[in-house]
Amino acid sequence: MTDWLLKASGRLSYHWPDYLSGRWMLLVGLLSAAILLSLVSGRYALEIQDIVQFFMAHIGWQTMDSNRYELLETLLMEIRLPRLLTAALVGAALAVSGSTYQAVFINPLVSPGLLGVLAGSSFGAALMMVLAPAWWMVQLGAIAGGLLAVVVALGIGRMFGNASTIMLVLGGIFTGALFAGLLALVKYAADPYEQLPAIIYWLMGSLGLANMDDLALYAPLMLAAIIGLTLQGRVLDILTLGDDSATALGLSVSRVRLMLILLATLASALTVSLVGMIGWVGLLAPHIARLLVGPLNRQLIPASALVGAIFMLFADVLARSLMAAELPIGVVTELIGLPVFLLVLRNVRKGWNT
């Protein structure tokens, strides 16, 4: 017991100085700003004061006009908070699984989107929406579809040469196209009055329907995957050295790799069943995080989670305030993702030799 405590405290004291650096402070500051912005912005704009007053009243430190309190309670606790939590969780999950895929496949150009995992998950989820529309069937369908997509993408990568960068990316493109085709088939078969609009709206990626009940169903598994992967930092570092070196350092490569792929796919597949397809976050967040805290996964994975959450929160604020009607968040991340990717790509080429 004491031995365990010593180990745990040793681990903490080893890690915490890293997390007090300016770059981590910047991330935490940005996250706080994003959270605040996400709470105040929207059709019914609020002041920061309102938020403070409401939360003071909520914990009973201050009194507030009861009509106003009820309005704020509906607005904040039932609409904006679940929305904020969903956005942050989805962003973190996509970013962490992106970082994991990049380490596992030793390839800085893969992501849940580029590997076709998101397409596979949306096919699986849509299929279940039509066949057996229960939340857990949809969830299961998304996970199964995501795993199937990884298998197909990897299989194609392996079929021509040793899963090189370019073949893996091509395999992902193939997988994405394959599952997009299958998805079109599902859409064609779906009931055009009820199911089809639901599927299409969900696929564009929307946070408009975010609520605490859905979150309670999906969040535990996603959080477990995120935390699980965060603890594997050093294992991921070793994996990026290649199979022979990793084995020589004592890692059971194939078993560990399988587990990591499962966790990463779980995290990204669930984002699809929760809010639909969100592009670019899984590719961009790891690269931005790498620019900030360096390539060691022990720090990169948690930093990616923060960057992904921040990115999604800001994207959601834009989605809500750019136009009179709310834009689907997936559309916004696509649109701001592209220019950001061009900026990042410069550094990718410089430091990553790809």
Partner 1 sequence: MNDIVMTVSHLTFRYPHQPQQTILNDISFHIGTGEVVSLLGANGCGKSTLLKLLQGLLQPTQGDVYLLGKRVQEWTRRDISRLIAYVPQAGQLPFPYRVRDLVAMGRIPHHGFYHQPGKDDDAAIDEAMQRLGISDLANKTCTELSGGQQQLCFLARALAQQTTVILMDEPVNGLDFGNQWRLLSLLKDLAADGYSIIKTTHYPDHALGLPGRAVLLHQGKILQQGPPPEVINPASIRTLYQLDESSYPALRYHPNKNEAGF
Binding site for partner 1 (CB under 8 A): 7, 10-11, 13-14, 103, 106-108, 231-232, 234-235, 237-238, 240-242, 244-245, 247-252, 290, 294-296, 351-354
Closest distance to partner 1 from the beta carbon of 233 (Å): 9
Q: How far is the CB of 171 from partner 1 (least distance, A)?
A: 17
Minimum CB–partner distance for residue 60 and partner 1 (Å): 42
Single-letter code of the amino acid located at 248:
A
Pick 155 or 181: Cβ nearer partner 1? 155
**Residues 6 or more apart from 298 whose CB is under 8 A from it?**
15, 18, 233, 234, 237
- The number of helix segments (H) and strand segments (E) in the chain equals 16, 0
Cα–Cα distance, 189 to 196 (Å, whole number) = 9
- Residue 215 or 251 with smaller CB distance to partner 1: 251
Shortest distance (Å) from residue 129 CB to partner 1: 38
User: What type of residue sits at position 94?
Assistant: L
**How far is 147 from 73, CA to CA, in rounded Å?**
40
Q: How far apart are CA 99 and CA 289, in angstroms?
A: 9
In the chain, the largest separation of any two C-alpha atoms, in whole Å, equals 69
What type of residue is 235?
V
**Residue 42 or 295 with smaller CB distance to partner 1:** 295
Nearer to partner 1 by Cβ, of 108 and 141: the residue is 108
Nearest residue (CB) to partner 1, 272 versus 285: 285
- Close Cβ partners of 90 (under 8 Å, ≥ 6 residues apart): 271, 274, 275, 278, 281, 312
Tell me the C-alpha distance between 110 and 206, whole Å.
24
Shortest approach of partner 1 to residue 255 CB, angstroms? 10
Supply the minimum distance, in Å, between the C-beta of residue 251 and partner 1: 7
- HSE at residue 277, side-chain half, CA atoms within 13 A, is 29
Question: What is the closest distance, in whole angstroms, from the C-beta atom of residue 306 to partner 1 in the complex?
Answer: 19
CB of 225 to partner 1, least distance (A): 18
Considering the complex, state which of residue 63 and residue 354 has its C-beta at the smaller distance from partner 1: 354
Separation CA 241–CA 106 (nearest Å): 8
Q: What is the DSSP track for 250-264?
A: T--HHHHHHHHHHHH
By CB neighbour count within 10 A (0-12 exposed, 13-18 middle, 19+ buried), where does 60 fall?
exposed
Among the listed residues 221, 224, 248, 246, the one whose alpha carbon sits nearest the alpha carbon of residue 236: 246
CA distance 116 to 162: 19
The smaller minimum CB distance to partner 1, of residues 133 and 161, is found at: 161
Residue 89: CB minimum distance to partner 1, A: 25
State which residue, 300 or 305, has the beta carbon closest to partner 1: 300
CB-wise, 247 or 321, nearer to partner 1?
247
